[in-house]
């Protein structure tokens, strides 16, 4: 239980008490997002905090971070009920794309689905007819198991709108997740099963961890952990693992308990920006006898990097142009504008405190505004309306 991790760091008992006190029910809805550029439907099962358990119940009051979760090869999203039951009550929205379920999945298509859902959920937050209107925070994580973990690397590559990447027994993909790691700088947490024979750490996650350029990265190997035990029972995964390892000495619920002990404080730090959680996470790393780990992480630097930095732009929505107010003492940075699926459509060096940005030739819709200087960044969203 997570309480065990809290007790290991007695100075943060009060923090744990507050965290454990959250008690949202689990709501569920199904949305088919349509990506017009790819002419592709993305069926998505979404689990979210609600005051009542059930289908299409109202979302609880609040602004909740979004987690996009990718399934493993031939594994139904329903096998990951352990994740939504653990995380939704803590105040997270989990989105499960149900695409690429066939015998010959396209890993790049799957990764692009992750990115599209992440952007669409931010649009849902602005849509007053959506169940998610005004309930979604700007912070987003990518998570995935096995094939979904590998696709998470592809989706996180050069992606400025994702706050953290987390995966479980991630497997190499085509195109290569291992190659993509060199273009990932966000905080990343990799879980491995020490006895995983389906995607052995030495051939998969160890290489991924070493290739990451993250300012903060951690790999946790669960001693005697397996590949399929990160999820609930599912026939095809269990059959595959039994063909190479039928004598796992850990129980499924034990592996999931260990996972949650570290996953929850990491998410609380990286998505809810609770700096105490980072200390709890590291205390548990050092105290646990059920894992081994590797870490390269400058805690002070990453706390500063992930602090809330909203870029000041006005007006918003906009008809033709908007004013960008450069963050204090950070002139001569670059503004980048991306569309909702992450394509860069504008880039400019900023030299003034107030700069007018012309959008008159842009199509109507939502865009992400990204201002960066050196290792610091500011993000906002803007809606372009039809010009009169």
Which of 278, 305, 332 is where one domain is finished? 305
8 pLDDT above the threshold of 70: no
Q: How many residues does the chain have?
A: 388
**Are 272 and 257 spatial neighbours (Cβ–Cβ below 8 Å)?**
no
Give the predicted TM-score (pTM) of the model.
0.75
Which of 270, 305, 340 is where one domain is finished? 305
Work out the pLDDT band at 310, boundaries 50, 70, 90. low
The residue ranking higher by pLDDT, 104 or 18, is: 104
Q: Give 59-73 pLDDT, tens digit per residue.
A: 999 999 999 999 999
Q: How many domains does the chain have?
A: 2
> What domain range is 128 assigned to?
2-305
The arithmetic mean of pLDDT across residues 281-305, rounded, is 76
The residue ranking higher by pLDDT, 293 or 276, is: 293
Q: Give 97-135 pLDDT, tens digit per residue.
A: 999 999 999 999 999 999 999 999 999 998 899 999 999
Q: What is residue 288's predicted lDDT score, i.e. its pLDDT?
A: 92
The answer to whether residues 258 and 294 belong to one domain is yes
Burial class (CB in 10 A: 0-12, 13-18, 19+), 321: exposed
Distance CA 65, CA 268 (A): 10
Q: Residue 345 belongs to a domain with what CATH number?
A: 2.60.40.3080
The answer to whether residues 373 and 288 belong to one domain is no
Residues 39, 160, 382, CA angle at the centre, nearest 5°?
A: 70
Work out the pLDDT band at 227, boundaries 50, 70, 90. very high
Q: Give 195-224 pLDDT, tens digit per residue.
A: 999 999 999 999 999 999 988 899 999 999
Q: What is residue 314's predicted lDDT score, i.e. its pLDDT?
A: 83
Distance CA 64, CA 38 (A): 28
The answer to whether residues 263 and 362 belong to one domain is no
291 pLDDT above the threshold of 80: yes
Q: What is residue 22's predicted lDDT score, i.e. its pLDDT?
A: 58
Comparing 13-17, 27-31, 166-170, 320-324, the range with the smallest average pLDDT is 13-17
Residue of 262, 296, 290, 295 lying closest to 277 (CA atoms): 262
Work out the pLDDT band at 81, boundaries 50, 70, 90. very high
The answer to whether residues 351 and 275 belong to one domain is no
Which of 305, 339, 358 is where one domain is finished? 305
Work out the pLDDT band at 246, boundaries 50, 70, 90. low
The answer to whether residues 227 and 163 belong to one domain is yes
The answer to whether residues 242 and 349 belong to one domain is no
Q: Give 23-39 pLDDT, tens digit per residue.
A: 899 999 999 999 999 99
The answer to whether residues 296 and 316 belong to one domain is no
The answer to whether residues 62 and 135 belong to one domain is yes
Share of residues in the chain with pLDDT > 90 (%): 59
The answer to whether residues 234 and 324 belong to one domain is no
Work out the pLDDT band at 387, boundaries 50, 70, 90. low
The answer to whether residues 326 and 227 belong to one domain is no
The answer to whether residues 269 and 317 belong to one domain is no
Comparing 118-132, 189-203, 263-277, 368-382, the range with the smallest average pLDDT is 368-382
The answer to whether residues 88 and 44 belong to one domain is yes
Beta strands across the sheet bearing 321-325: 312-314, 321-325, 354-358
Q: Residue 20 belongs to a domain with what CATH number?
A: 3.40.50.1820
What average pLDDT does the structure give for the chain?
87
């Amino acid at each position: 239980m997570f309480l065990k991790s809290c007790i290991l760091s007695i100075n943060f008992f009060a923090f744990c008490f507050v965290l454990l006190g959250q008690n949202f029910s689990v709501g569920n809805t199904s949305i088919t997002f349509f990506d017009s550029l790819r002419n592709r439907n993305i069926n998505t099962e979404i689990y979210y905090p609600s005051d009542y358990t059930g289908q299409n119940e109202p979302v609880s009051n609040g602004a909740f971070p979004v987690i996009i979760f990718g399934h493993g090869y031939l594994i139904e999203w329903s096998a990951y009920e352990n994740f939504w039951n653990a995380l939704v009550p803590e105040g997270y929205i989990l989105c499960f794309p149900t695409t690429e379920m066939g015998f010959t999945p396209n890993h790049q298509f799957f990764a692009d689905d992750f990115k599209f859902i992440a952007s669409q959920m931010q649009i849902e937050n602005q849509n007053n007819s959506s169940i998610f209107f005004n309930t979604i925070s700007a912070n987003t994580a990518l998570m995935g198991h096995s094939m979904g973990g590998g696709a998470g690397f592809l989706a996180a590559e050069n992606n400025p709108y994702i706050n953290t990447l987390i995966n479980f027994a991630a497997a190499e993909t085509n195109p290569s997740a291992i190659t993509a790691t060199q273009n990932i700088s966000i905080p990343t947490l990799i879980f491995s099963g020490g006895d995983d024979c389906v995607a052995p750490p030495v051939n998969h996650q160890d290489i991924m961890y070493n290739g990451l350029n993250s300012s903060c990265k951690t790999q946790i190997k669960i001693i005697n952990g397996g590949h399929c035990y990160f999820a609930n029972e599912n026939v095809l995964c269990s059959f595959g693992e039994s063909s190479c390892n039928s004598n796992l000495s850990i129980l499924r619920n034990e592996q999931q308990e260990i996972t949650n002990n570290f996953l929850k404080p990491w998410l609380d730090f990286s998505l809810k920006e609770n700096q105490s959680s980072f200390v709890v996470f590291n205390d548990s790393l050092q105290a646990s006898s059920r894992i081994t780990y590797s870490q390269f992480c400058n805690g002070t630097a990453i706390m500063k990097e992930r602090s809330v930095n909203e870029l000041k732009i006005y007006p918003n929505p906009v008809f033709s142009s908007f004013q960008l107010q450069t963050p204090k003492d950070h002139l001569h940075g670059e503004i980048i504008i991306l569309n909702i699926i992450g394509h860069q459509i504008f880039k400019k060096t900023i030299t003034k405190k107030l700069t007018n940005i012309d959008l008159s030739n842009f199509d109507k819709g939502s865009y992400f505004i990204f201002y960066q200087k050196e290792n610091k960044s500011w993000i906002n969203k803007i809606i372009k309306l039809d010009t009169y």
